[in-house]
């Protein structure tokens, strides 16, 4: 059920809603006065759990801080605690609440793909041969297509490419694109170095190639002994027929495969698909290290760093007396378990499950069963493993500690740089986590494809999701000052209008009574863009003068503007800071932590501007924008088209039938592309 959406109910109304809750399993959500989601939680008994937030004194704690901001709540009743668990973590992943442990993963896992039933034909002499007779293997990341076989997921692109190289050495499967394969007249370099069996020019028949594909797939599934036994039988059969050259080839395959298996540090004969999870919590930060075993091979690991660990764990600690959690008496142990359970619940929802999880801390059976039921398979969890699993876990635990130590060292260094810059420029240092710096740079080639970049530094790191590029138009080519004027007006014009309207509203607003204090206090984070604490421009007096004119026109604070002027000989470390409010130039020193941060932000703005300018220039010169303007052709399809045909000219020269052979391009879309380009 959902509680009616009331903008700002009084505490009495909120308590009445809590009293009306049922004693059933469910999920609850807390919102502040601006409608921002604060927290998502699950409960075996909604009424009992939610009441504990409001019927106890939580002053001076994180939970008290959160409760003071709650203006509205919503609840959803479900049939079981397992359903509540799944719904809770789905909401956490999609809504990003302020006080929950959140694992962000914006990348899909890569797979190794072996093409399967693709009905594409080539001409070998006079005889048409289906492509599926000679499947190719490739690195793949994206939506799984049932027509092909996929193996993985792998923790990194490097792990996939290493496996492809291995399969090339042992089974000599092709990796070339279908268009290249169809038009070869002589074998490529991979054949010469014994990484491919040359199916493109009929140096291997379909039956023999099919055996190699089947053996490669069994190897990827972990059936290594079966593969070795079959190779041995084939080798002996050739030897009995006195076909010693063919027998030697198979012997070399077995040697290469045995060498690879020997390189695996652990005996994985009894394990096929296993994920090893180790967690380390320190200094308010956490790292979950995920190591993967697929097909009996240890493929590597990947660290994950969740957000909001400190807030979420302190809130959970404050509610432990409610009795739903029984993860042990040690507070640090409970934090480790909560982080690990949050990772399992969020990471494996909607993802392929391994057969077994090996974990550094005990996980609730209800969580394992719920995740397995959601995926439609049985999931096993092992907490205190033995033998090779213990070696895996020890390695994963060590890697988690190393990754977290590296993160804390990097953050500590970055925080020191932020503080040094704040002290050097007299910026507010009471809350450095919210210090926001925006930096602008202009890039073009002899006036062509002028672009401006804006990068953002906040919370002691670059916030690349907030980066913006601006196409500069209507100026004299090469006029960097006019470009800077245009981008600053576009960036801060609307913010200046909003600030003026806010000031005028404050003048006209009558004195607020005591009842307005709570509303004012809850509006801590205004929505939309805000003025940064510092605006860096890459340039000296000229660029700063232009920025000063813009800020004067908009009525903004001139003290925010700082120019980064190149030093003598344009040498790094000799930069000086130029101020728009009349202060003298400042040289911070080549070994200054503050200057290191300024240089880091300035260089990132330059990099972002350069890459945007080059992409824009390439589109202008090659006509790539024509593809971008065709409905239904997104970035992936555009990349496949350009890769297949070698550029926009090749795409334009291709027929509609040729275009339809590209993966993801239907016959209708191919016809649309052809007509758009002609």
Between CA 422 and CA 414 the distance in angstroms is 12
Least confident segment among 141-155, 435-449, 541-555: 141-155
Q: Is it the case that residue 109 has pLDDT exceeding 50?
A: yes
Confidence of residue 127 (pLDDT cuts 50, 70, 90): very low
DSSP codes of every residue in 431-471:
-GGG-EEEEEEEEEETTEEEEEEEEEEETTEE-GGG-EEEE
Residue predicted with more confidence, 83 or 360: 360
Q: What confidence score (pLDDT) does residue 256 get?
A: 66
CA dihedral of 479, 481, 486, 487, whole degrees rounded to 10: 110
Phi, psi for 448 (deg, rounded to 5)? -85, 140
Mean pLDDT of 544-569: 89
CATH topology for the 274-405 domain: Nucleotidyltransferase; domain 5 (3.30.420)
Q: What confidence score (pLDDT) does residue 546 get?
A: 92
Between CA 334 and CA 88 the distance in angstroms is 19
Residue predicted with more confidence, 377 or 107: 377
Tell me the three state secondary structure of residue 158: helix
| Contacts by 637-644, CB closer than 8 A, 24 or more apart | 637/662, 637/664, 637/665, 637/669, 640/664, 640/665, 641/665, 641/673, 643/177, 644/177, 644/179
Confidence of residue 674 (pLDDT cuts 50, 70, 90): confident
pLDDT tens by residue, 459-514 = 888 998 899 999 888 888 788 899 999 999 999 998 998 888 877 766 554 444 44
Every domain range in the chain assigned CATH 1.10.150.20: 623-677
Confidence of residue 556 (pLDDT cuts 50, 70, 90): very high
Q: What confidence score (pLDDT) does residue 502 get?
A: 78
Between CA 442 and CA 437 the distance in angstroms is 17
pTM for the model stands at: 0.60
DSSP codes of every residue in 545-582:
HHHHHHHHHHT--GGGEEEEE--GGG-TT--EEEETTS
Q: What confidence score (pLDDT) does residue 163 get?
A: 83
Q: Within 10 Å of residue 582's Cβ, how many Cβ atoms?
A: 8
Q: What confidence score (pLDDT) does residue 616 get?
A: 64
11-95 has CATH 3.40.1440.10 classification: yes
Q: What confidence score (pLDDT) does residue 9 get?
A: 52
Confidence of residue 58 (pLDDT cuts 50, 70, 90): low
- Structure tokens given for 228: 């070795």
> Cα–chain-centroid distance for residue 485?
34
Q: What confidence score (pLDDT) does residue 236 get?
A: 84
Least confident segment among 26-40, 114-128, 517-531, 615-629: 517-531
* CB crowding 454-493: b at 16 or more within 10 Å, else e: bbbbbebebeeeebbbbebeeeeeebbbbbbbbbbeebbe
Q: What confidence score (pLDDT) does residue 510 get?
A: 47
User: Crossing angle of helices 206-220/157-171, nearest 10°?
Assistant: 140
Between CA 610 and CA 657 the distance in angstroms is 38
pLDDT tens by residue, 409-430 = 877 888 888 988 888 888 877 7
Least confident segment among 318-322, 544-548, 658-662: 318-322
Tell me the three state secondary structure of residue 198: coil
Every domain range in the chain assigned CATH 3.30.420.340: 432-505+530-619
Beta-strand relationship, 356-359 and 274-282:
parallel
Q: Which strand ranges, in their side-by-side order, compose the sheet holding 26-31?
A: 37-43, 26-31, 72-77
Q: What confidence score (pLDDT) does residue 446 get?
A: 66
Q: What confidence score (pLDDT) does residue 533 get?
A: 92
Q: Are 2 and 41 in contact (CB under 8 A)?
A: no
Between CA 368 and CA 366 the distance in angstroms is 6
C-alpha distance from residue 207 to each of 13, 64, 204, 212, 224 (Å): 76, 71, 8, 9, 21
| CA-wise closest residue to 556 among 565, 547, 545 | 547
Q: Are 358 and 393 in contact (CB under 8 A)?
A: yes
Q: Is it the case that residue 522 has pLDDT exceeding 50?
A: no
Q: Are 660 and 670 in contact (CB under 8 A)?
A: yes
Q: What confidence score (pLDDT) does residue 507 get?
A: 53
Tell me the three state secondary structure of residue 395: helix
Q: Architecture of 432-505+530-619 per CATH? A: 2-Layer Sandwich (3.30)
pLDDT tens by residue, 263-298 = 444 444 456 788 999 999 887 788 999 998 877 777
Confidence of residue 515 (pLDDT cuts 50, 70, 90): very low
Q: What confidence score (pLDDT) does residue 548 get?
A: 93
* CB crowding 35-59: b at 16 or more within 10 Å, else e: ebbbbbbbbbbbbebbbbbeeeebe
Between CA 552 and CA 558 the distance in angstroms is 7
pLDDT averaged over every residue in the chain = 79
Mean pLDDT of 161-179: 85
Q: Is it the case that residue 518 has pLDDT exceeding 60?
A: no
| Contacts by 271-275, CB closer than 8 A, 24 or more apart | 271/296, 271/356, 271/388, 271/389, 272/221, 272/222, 272/296, 272/355, 273/222, 273/354, 273/355, 273/356, 274/354, 274/355, 274/356, 274/357, 274/358, 274/389, 274/392, 275/354, 275/356, 275/357, 275/358
Q: Are 94 and 81 in contact (CB under 8 A)?
A: no
CA quadruple 647, 652, 657, 659: dihedral positive or negative? positive
Between CA 590 and CA 582 the distance in angstroms is 24
CATH code for the part of the protein at 623-677:
1.10.150.20
Mean pLDDT of 639-646: 78
Percent of the chain with pLDDT over 90: 13
Q: Are 209 and 218 in contact (CB under 8 A)?
A: no
């Amino acid at each position: 059920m959902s509680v009616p959406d009331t903008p700002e109910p009084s505490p009495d109304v909120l308590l009445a809603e809590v009293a009306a809750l049922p004693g059933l399993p469910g999920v609850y959500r807390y919102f502040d006065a601006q409608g921002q989601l604060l927290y998502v939680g699950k409960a075996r008994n909604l009424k009992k759990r939610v009441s504990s937030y409001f019927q106890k004194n939580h002053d001076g704690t994180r939970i008290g801080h959160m409760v003071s901001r709650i203006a509205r709540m919503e609840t959803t009743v479900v049939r079981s605690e397992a359903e509540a668990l799944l719904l809770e973590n789905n909401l956490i992943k999609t809504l990003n609440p302020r006080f929950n442990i959140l694992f962000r993963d914006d990348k899909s896992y890569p797979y190794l793909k072996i093409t399967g039933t693709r009905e594409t034909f080539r001409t070998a002499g006079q005889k048409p041969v289906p492509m599926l007779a000679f499947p190719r293997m490739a690195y793949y990341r994206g939506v799984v297509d049932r027509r092909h076989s996929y193996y993985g997921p792998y923790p990194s692109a490097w792990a996939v490419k290493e496996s492809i190289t291995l399969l090339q050495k042992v089974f000599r499967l092709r990796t070339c694109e279908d268009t290249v394969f169809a038009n070869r007249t002589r074998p490529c370099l991979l054949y010469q170095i014994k990484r491919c069996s040359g199916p493109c020019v009929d140096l291997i028949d379909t039956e023999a190639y099919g055996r190699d594909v089947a053996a490669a797939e069994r190897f990827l599934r972990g059936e290594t002994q079966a593969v070795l036994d079959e190779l041995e039988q084939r080798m002996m059969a050739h030897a009995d027929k006195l076909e010693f050259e063919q027998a030697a080839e198979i012997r070399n395959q077995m040697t290469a495969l045995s060498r690879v298996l020997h390189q695996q540090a652990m005996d994985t004969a009894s394990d096929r698909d296993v994920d090893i999870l180790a967690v380390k919590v320190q200094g308010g930060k956490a790292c979950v290290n995920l190591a993967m075993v697929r097909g009996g091979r240890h493929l590597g690991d990947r660290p994950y760093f969740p957000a909001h660990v400190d807030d979420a764990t302190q809130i959970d600690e404050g509610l432990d007396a409610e009795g739903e959690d029984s993860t042990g008496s040690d507070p640090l142990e409970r934090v480790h378990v909560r982080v690990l359970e949050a990772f399992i619940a969020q990471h494996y929802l909607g993802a392929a499950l391994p057969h077994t999880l090996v974990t550094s801390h005990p996980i609730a059976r209800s969580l394992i069963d719920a995740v397995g039921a959601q995926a439609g398979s049985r999931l096993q969890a092992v907490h205190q493993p033995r033998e090779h699993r213990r070696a895996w876990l020890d390695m994963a635990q060590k890697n988690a500690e190393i990754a977290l130590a590296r993160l804390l060292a990097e953050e500590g260094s970055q925080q020191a740089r932020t503080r040094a810059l704040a002290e050097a420029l007299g910026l507010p240092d009471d809350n450095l986590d919210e210090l926001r710096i925006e930096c602008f740079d202009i890039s073009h080639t002899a006036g062509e494809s002028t672009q401006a970049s804006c990068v953002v530094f906040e919370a002691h790191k670059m916030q690349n999701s907030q980066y913006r590029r601006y196409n500069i138009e209507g100026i004299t080519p090469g006029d960097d000052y006019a470009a800077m004027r245009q981008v600053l007006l576009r960036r801060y014009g609307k913010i200046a209008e909003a600030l003026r309207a806010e000031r005028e509203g404050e003048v006209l607003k009558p004195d607020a009574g005591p009842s307005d204090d709570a509303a004012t206090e809850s509006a801590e984070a205004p929505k939309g863009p805000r003025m940064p604490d510092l605006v860096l421009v890459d340039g000296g007096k000229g660029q700063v003068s232009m920025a000063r004119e813009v800020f004067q026109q908009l009525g903004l604070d001139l003290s925010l503007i700082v120019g980064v002027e190149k030093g003598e000989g344009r040498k790094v470390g000799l930069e000086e800071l130029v101020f728009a409010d009349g202060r003298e130039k400042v040289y911070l020193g080549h070994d200054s932590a503050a200057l290191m941060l300024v240089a880091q932000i300035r260089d990132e703005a330059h990099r972002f501007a350069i890459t945007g300018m080059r992409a824009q220039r390439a589109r202008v010169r090659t006509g790539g924008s024509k593809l971008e303007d065709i409905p239904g052709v997104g970035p992936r399809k555009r990349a496949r088209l350009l890769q297949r045909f070698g550029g926009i000219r090749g795409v334009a020269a291709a027929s509609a039938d040729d275009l339809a052979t590209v993966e993801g391009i239907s016959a209708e879309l191919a016809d649309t592309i052809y007509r758009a380009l002609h």
